[in-house]
Every structure is written in structure tokens, then in C-alpha cells.
Amino acid sequence: MLITIIILAVSIYLFAKNVIPNDLVALLAAISLGLTGVLPPSDVFSGFSHPAVITIIAICVLAEALEKVGITHRLTAFLFKFGGQSERRLIAATMLCSATLSLFMNNIAAAALTLPVAAKLSKRSGVSIAKLGMPLAIGTLLGGMATLFTTMNIIVSSILRSQNLEGFGVFEFAPIGLPLLFIGVIYMVIWGRRSLPERSELENVQQTQEEKIDLIQIYGLGQTFTSLRINKSSPVNGLPISSTYAWNRSNVRIIALEHHNVVTHPPLPTTLVRAGDVITLQGDPDEIEKTCLALDAVKLPRKDWKEQDLESKDTAVFEVVLTPRSSLLGRTVREIRFREKYEMTILAIWRGNKQLQFGFQDVPLEFGDALLLQGGRLRLSALKKDPDLIYLGDEDDKTEIPSPKGKRALLIMAVVLIWSSLDSQRAAEIMLGGALLIAVTRVLDMAEFYRAIEWKTIFMVAGMLPMGIAVTNTGLGDQIGQAVIFVLGTYGPGASLAGFFIATILLTQVISGAASVTVMAPMAIAAAKTLHADPRVFAMAVALAGSIAFITPFAHPVHMLVVGPSGYTFQDYRKVGVPLTIIISTLTLILVTLML
């Protein structure tokens, strides 16, 4: 028990400090439990075959299938038709859209699918993305509370089954989750929206309904551009532009080359530089001065640069964010060879509420980063399909649903939902069977099948589930349950339930909800048995508490997805999240306690 407490405490500390990835922390915890003899090997590695892990894999694949065939896009477009240009209606539509998707898929996937639509609606309506980003994330979390398909609900249901108790059905959370969603939407539309910033830092340019947002000014790049005219005596006269001093510099980039009034954005490495050509650079002023001297060029007067100056009929400026499963996370721009891979130049990176305008080639990319790109318009279709990036443009999407694949995906999903709701004890097998049918019927090929899986979530859950076993087997859960009962038991089972509920919420704000419910659920179940209360009710309270992650941007990955585009700060989450947490927590406790 002492060893388990030490490993658990160290794990929580590492989760909270975020010094190493959460999935790695979870795996290290599992291995530590095995090496110290707390658990036998069969239990240490049991997480990888656990029904919770199998169910999460299946949900990822089914959600990816619906997204690929265009069904989720049609759903989001349909719901957003009700938004119009009213801020209140757009907030409600955003929350309902993300919540509807999260009823049937992983929260992160639902948010990632809704974000581009919200960005598009923001640009068309004139309503700031800062008014839509947080409602999107909150709607995703509240919608996920209403069905089994949220990671926290899946984990707790599996823990119940591992203790020979009945797990939760697919729609068993709905009587509590749906009213909470309704209250959450009302809160954000009436009160919460007033605490959101009027405009994000990304939108520091005056925006009207008729005026297009200028991304160059938004990212503050206007003063970082300098144009140089090449002299006849220049050492690069007649040479490819890739041989110039500026081509491989970390703090300066070649954005355009003008030859006889014909501008190339950006020039290819093989483009020849000739006397009289004008090269436009973007980057560190000191580095540009060095470049000017090295190229023997004349610096031209500054002008007020705008997006249109970097665009042509063949070239445009695009804005993207990294997806939750992006293979670019943790890698630098130089390691990725971004310009060669995507045939696009990164002009700037928006991280949190600050801009990285130059010198970011050796900075690892982070989840939530927004990238400003310049490249060929013909690359846009490939950019939209890239699994590593989410495109935030406002061009109309002409994609149609491939009818045969769309019908197959819908049929498989319908069968999975109905069958698993009727036979909840075999939900994992039914869902995995549906996911395999997605591959067999070629809705997804096997490469897409594996790419759809949230592997970080899988490893974190598989690593933390043995911790739940250790908490139960060592008697730690019983001891903590007894302590809670000693303090709160005299006030009845409802007070003890509230204790575990509040403790889980607090833990969720500093570590992931999946990790917090894995730790707290066995303890809550043990306390319920001692009090002769329904363990399923205590377990449901813990599962729901794991989704109440509104107070900090680090409480759940869906918040990190919207922080970059929306430019939120900790203060924004505190002002919106604290009252919402109090309201949702109070209502949840009332509804769950009525089930005792």
C-alpha cells in the first residue's frame, strides 16, 4: 500500500507539472507497480486488453469513418445554419454542434471537426472567434457527459465490470448529461459570453461584416517585411536563389521575388536572381541588415504590407492549427523540413497570446499552435486533407458524400449504437466489431484505420488502469473510503458521494480527467460498498466529475485546441469556468444524489 501511495503521488505530481508526456507517465507508473512487486505481470499489462481501451479504439475508428465520408461535415453545416449572424445564436449553434458530435465520438475528435466550421462562421458573420472557441470546447465536454462514449465514462464503466458489477449502458448518462448541456448552453448565451474577450489577440484589426480580416496585420508582420533591390555587382547575380545568404537562415525568410514587375510568392529554390530584381524578406531586422550587406543590395522604403501583397492568382496566405494527433507535435520546423514537405512557407506562429514572427525554426511545435502559411492555391485541397493540420479558411467546401460509403458507415454506426445499448455488457466487443466492419467494407483502409486511433490516449489509459487495480488490491481504496466515511459518513451517503465528486473535479483541473477517474473510481466504489449504497451511483458521480474541466486551459485537450485561434488567457478561463463549474457541479450532485 505504501509503495502504491508513493507511485500514485509521483504520478500525480508529474501529470500536474507536465514535464513529460502524460502517456509516458502512465506507462512508467504501470511498470513501477510491476517492478516493485505490487502487481503481477498479468495485471501490469492488462490495460492493453482492457474493455475501456478496446472501446476507445473502436470509437476513434467509427468517428473517423463518419468524418471521412462527409457525414459529420453535413451535420455541422446543418446546425450552423441556425446561427446566422447573431452572436447568441452562433454560440448556441457552436455548443450544440460540438455537443451533438461528442455524443457519438471522442471529445477531441468532435472539437477538431467543429473548429474549422466555427472559424468559417466567425469570418463570415463578424462574430469574433473568441466568442465561439470556449463555447465550442465547453459544449464538447458537456455533450460527452451524456453518453458512454466519453473516455472517462468508458473507463469507469470498465472498472465497475472488473469488480463484477454492472457497467453503464450507452445512453444511461443521458438523463443527467442532457439537462446539464441545456443549462450550459443557457449559461454561455446569457452570462458566460459576457466574460469572454470581445476580440482575440488574433483579431486586433478592426473587423466588420464587409471587411476581410487581414492576417498579415493580425499576426503583426507588417513591420517585419523588408524589400531589397539587387545590384549588378551582387555576388548572387545570375545564381539560383537557394544559394543566397538568406535562403537557409533561421531568423529570416525569402517571401517574394519580383523580376520585371512579375512577382513570385514564394520563389522556388531554382529561381534565378538577376540585377534589378527585388527580393522581399521577413524576419529579424538585424539579420536582414546582414543579408542586405551580403547580397550587395539596396534597401527599399518600407510600406504598409497587407495580405494581398503576398497573394496572387496562384498563391495565397492560409491559417492552420495542429490536430490533436498531429505527427508534427514536439518536432521543430527544421526537423520537419516544412517548406519542402508542404511546399509552403511558415510566416509566423501564434502560441497562446503571443506571436513568434521569426527564430522559430528550432522551436518544437506544440498542440494548439496556429500557423500562418504562404503557398500555392493548388495545395489547398491537399492541406485540407492533411491529418496533421486543421485548415481555418473560409472557402466553401464542395465535397460531396460518397453515397455507398456514407450509407455503409451510417448503417454500421446505427447497428453498433442499437446493439450496444441493448447489450451493454458486451459493448466493447460490439464496437470493435463495428470498427472492423468499417475496414472490411473499405470505408477506411488500414492505414486510415490505424491513423484514426488516439494512441496517446490509448497508452495513457492502458498505463493508468493498473493503478486502479493496485488501489483496489492493496486495500488503499478501502482505506481512503473509510477515511471519507469517517469524516462525512455521519451526514449520510450523499455527503460521501459529494466528497469524492468534488475531489475528482479538483484533481481533473491539474491532471487529465482519464487519470483522475482511474484513481478515484475504485475508492468511490469501495466507500459505496461500506455505506451499503449503490456503487454504480458513486461511480457515475466520479465519471461525470472527470468531464467538469472548465477552469484552466490545461484541464482538457479540447481547450488547448481552441486557445491558439481564440487567444484565451488563464483569466478568461477563470472568469467563465469558475461560475460554470459551480453551476454544473451543483446540478450534477443534485441529479446524481436523487439516484441513491
Least confident of 184-198, 205-219, 225-239, 255-269: 205-219
Q: What value does the mean pLDDT take over residues 52-77?
A: 77
596 vs 592 pLDDT, higher one: 592
Whole-number Å distance between alpha carbons of 589 and 544:
10
Whole-number Å distance between alpha carbons of 414 and 36:
46
3-class secondary-structure state, position 230: strand
Domains and CATH numbers, the chain: 2-34+47-199+412-593 (no CATH), 222-304 (3.30.70.1450), 322-391 (3.30.70.1450)
pLDDT of 207 > 50? The answer is no
Q: What value does the mean pLDDT take over residues 24-38?
A: 93
Give this prediction's pTM. 0.70
Question: Strand locations in 182-314, DSSP E?
Answer: 225-230, 252-259, 262-264, 278-283, 297-299
Q: Give the pairing type, strands 354-356 and 278-283.
A: unpaired
3-class secondary-structure state, position 133: helix
Whole-number Å distance between alpha carbons of 164 and 173:
20
Whole-number Å distance between alpha carbons of 123 and 111:
18
pLDDT of 241 > 50? The answer is yes
**In the structure, what pLDDT confidence band is assigned to residue 208 with cuts at 50, 70 and 90?**
very low
Is residue 512 within 8 A of residue 15, CB to CB? The reply is yes
159 vs 250 pLDDT, higher one: 159
Q: What value does the mean pLDDT take over residues 183-189?
A: 95
pLDDT of 401 > 50? The answer is no
Determine what percent of the chain is predicted with pLDDT higher than 70: 90
Rg of the chain (C-alpha set): 26
3-class secondary-structure state, position 355: strand
Instruction: Please list the helix, strand and coil fractions of the chain in percent, rounded to the nearest 5, in that order.
Output: 60, 10, 30
**In the structure, what pLDDT confidence band is assigned to residue 32 with cuts at 50, 70 and 90?**
very high
- Beta-carbon contacts of 72 under 8 Å, excluding residues fewer than 6 positions away, are 63, 66, 101, 113
- At 168 the pLDDT is 92
- At 558 the pLDDT is 85
Q: What value does the mean pLDDT take over residues 219-243?
A: 82
The mean predicted confidence, pLDDT, of the chain is 83
Whole-number Å distance between alpha carbons of 248 and 264:
18
pLDDT of 2 > 60? The answer is yes
pLDDT of 498 > 50? The answer is yes
Interval 80-89: pLDDT, tens: 666 666 888 8
pLDDT of 433 > 90? The answer is yes
Question: What single letter denotes the amino acid at residue 356?
Answer: L
Interval 526-542: pLDDT, tens: 899 888 899 999 999 99
499 vs 420 pLDDT, higher one: 499
Q: What value does the mean pLDDT take over residues 328-350?
A: 84
DSSP 240: B
pLDDT of 399 > 60? The answer is no
- Beta-carbon contacts of 35 under 8 Å, excluding residues fewer than 6 positions away, are none
Whole-number Å distance between alpha carbons of 133 and 118:
8
